[in-house]
C-alpha cells in the first residue's frame, strides 16, 4: 500500500495537503429486509449473514440482553449485537432459519418493528461466538448532544451516488478507519486517516472549511459521507448538520448496499470493502474477498503484505511487528499452534481473544 500526498482538486478549497491511499488491487420473507439472491444449489452456501441497526429509544436496553443471548444460542446464531439507550447495531450469521428467528424476535418489539437488515451468504460461518454487549452508544462518537433520530443528512440511493461524486462542488469524505480505507474506497474520496470514529470531530475541526459554523452562520459547502453499512453516517451527517452545514448527503445502505446493487462496470468503487467478521472483505455482489486478518493486530492483509519479512502467521505483520514484546509474541505463536492443531482435528479453536480496536463493531 502506498500513501501519496497531494492537494484536493476542485474540492480543495476546504483544505490543503491531504494524504490519500493508493489501493493495491490484489440480512421471515414478509419482514422488511434488503435481500441478496438466495444461494444456488451448485454453490450451496450454508450461512446467512444479516447486518442491522436502528436508532430508537431503548431505556430498558439492558433487559433485552439475556432473552436475546438465549435465543441466538438455541438457534446456533453467532455474531455481535450492541444494545444501548440509543438503539441496536450488529451483524449476526448462522443457519437461515435461525437468523430469521432472531430477526423476528427483534421485530416483535414494537420499537423495532421496522428494523431493516442487509443479507449476504457464505459457505463457512463468519463468526466464532455470539456476543450481545451493553454499551453507551451503538456506534461510538462521544458527542452526547447528537441525536440521529432528530436530524441526519439527505439519503442518496446507490444508483444516484456516482452522479453526486462527479459533482466537483461536493466534498466526499470516507468516515471509516484507516485500516478499512487501506483496502478500498470510492475514487476521489478524502481519507481522514483516523484510527477510530471518535477522531472524526477533531479531524473536521482541523480542516479549513469543515469546521463548525459561527453562531448564526450557515455553511454552504456540500458534503457527502459514506461508511460500510450506513450507521456511522447517521452520526457523522447529524454532526455536520449540528455544525451548521446545510447540504449534507449520506450513501443510503452504505458501501455494502452500493456493492450489492451497482454493477462492477458502472462502479466508482476501487478495491475491497473491509467487514468486521471472518470474511475480512467483500467485493461487488458482496462476494468474500481475498484478504486475511493479521491475528495480532487485525490489519487486513494482501498477498503482498504476507510476503513481508515481518509477517509471521498469527504472530505479526509489517504493521505490528515492532508493537509486541517477546513474551506477547510467544503467546501469539502458541495460540497459532493451538489453532492449527484444532484445524487438523477438524475443530474450531477460539482460544484467546484477538486484539481489538476501539469501537471495532462498525457499519
Tell me: the pLDDT tens digits for 124-166? 899 989 999 999 999 999 999 999 989 999 999 999 999 999 9
The alpha carbon torsion through 264, 265, 267, 270 (nearest 10 deg) reads 70
Looking at residue 21, what is its pLDDT? 33
pLDDT over 50 at 6, yes or no: no
Nearest CA to 250 out of 172, 197, 138 is that of 172
pLDDT over 70 at 363, yes or no: no
Per-residue DSSP letters for 315-342?
A: TB-TTTTTTS-HHHHHHHHHHHHHHHHH
Looking at residue 338, what is its pLDDT? 92
Nearest CA to 125 out of 82, 73, 79, 80 is that of 79
Tell me: the pLDDT tens digits for 191-233? 999 999 999 999 999 999 999 999 989 999 999 999 999 999 9
Dihedral sign of CA atoms 159, 163, 166, 167 in order? negative
Distant-in-sequence, close-in-space partners of 301: CB < 8 Å, separation ≥ 6: 291, 292, 293, 294, 311, 317
Burial class (CB in 10 A: 0-12, 13-18, 19+), 257: buried
Set out the domains of the chain in order of their start, with CATH numbers.
2-25+142-261 (3.40.250.10), 47-134 (3.30.70.100), 295-363 (no CATH)
Q: Cell 439492558 maps to which residue?
A: 62
Provide the pairing of β-strand 47-55 with 117-122.
Answer: antiparallel
227 among known catalytic residues: yes
Catalytic residue among 72, 227, 273, 317, which?
227
Q: Write out the three cell numbers for 36.
A: 441478496
pLDDT over 80 at 1, yes or no: no
Tell me: the pLDDT tens digits for 294-320? 999 989 999 999 999 999 999 999 999
Q: Write out the three cell numbers for 238.
A: 447529524
Amino acid at each position: 500500500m502506498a500513501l501519496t500526498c497531494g492537494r484536493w482538486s476542485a474540492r480543495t478549497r476546504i483544505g490543503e495537503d491531504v494524504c490519500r491511499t493508493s489501493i493495491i488491487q490484489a440480512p421471515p420473507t414478509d419482514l422488511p429486509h434488503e435481500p441478496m439472491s438466495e444461494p444456488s444449489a451448485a454453490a450451496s452456501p450454508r450461512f446467512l449473514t444479516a447486518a442491522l441497526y436502528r436508532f430508537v429509544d431503548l431505556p430498558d436496553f439492558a433487559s433485552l440482553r439475556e432473552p436475546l443471548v438465549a435465543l441466538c444460542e438455541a438457534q446456533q446464531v453467532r455474531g455481535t449485537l450492541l444494545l444501548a439507550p440509543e438503539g441496536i447495531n450488529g451483524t449476526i450469521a448462522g443457519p437461515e432459519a435461525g437468523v430469521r428467528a432472531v430477526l423476528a424476535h427483534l421485530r416483535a418489539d414494537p420499537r423495532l418493528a421496522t428494523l431493516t437488515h442487509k443479507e449476504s451468504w457464505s459457505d463457512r460461518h463468519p463468526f466464532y461466538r455470539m456476543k450481545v454487549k451493553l454499551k453507551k452508544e451503538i456506534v461510538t462518537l462521544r458527542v452526547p448532544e447528537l441525536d440521529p433520530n432528530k436530524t441526519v443528512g439527505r439519503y442518496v440511493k446507490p444508483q444516484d451516488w456516482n452522479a453526486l461524486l462527479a459533482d466537483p462542488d461536493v466534498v466526499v469524505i470516507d468516515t471509516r478507519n484507516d485500516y478499512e480505507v487501506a483496502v478500498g474506497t470510492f475514487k476521489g474520496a478524502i481519507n481522514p486517516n483516523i484510527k477510530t470514529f471518535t477522531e472524526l470531530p477533531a479531524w473536521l475541526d482541523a480542516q479549513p472549511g469543515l469546521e463548525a459554523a459561527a453562531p448564526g452562520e450557515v455553511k454552504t459547502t456540500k458534503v457527502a459521507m459514506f461508511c460500510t453499512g450506513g450507521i456511522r453516517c447517521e452520526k457523522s451527517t447529524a454532526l455536520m448538520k449540528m455544525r451548521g452545514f446545510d447540504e449534507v448527503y449520506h450513501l443510503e445502505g452504505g458501501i455494502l448496499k452500493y456493492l450489492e446493487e451497482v454493477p462492477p462496470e458502472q462502479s466508482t468503487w476501487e478495491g475491497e470493502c473491509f467487514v468486521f467478521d471472518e470474511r475480512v472483505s467483500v467485493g461487488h455482489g458482496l462476494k468474500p474477498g481475498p484478504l486475511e486478518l493479521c491475528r495480532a493486530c487485525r490489519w487486513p492483509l494482501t498477498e503482498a503484505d504476507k510476503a513481508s519479512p515481518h509477517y509471521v502467521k498469527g504472530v505479526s505483520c509489517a504493521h505490528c511487528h515492532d508493537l509486541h514484546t517477546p513474551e506477547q509474541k510467544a503467546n501469539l505463536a502458541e495460540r497459532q499452534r493451538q489453532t492449527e492443531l484444532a484445524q487438523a482435528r477438524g475443530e474450531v479453536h477460539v482460544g484467546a481473544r484477538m486484539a481489538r480496536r476501539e469501537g471495532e463493531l462498525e457499519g
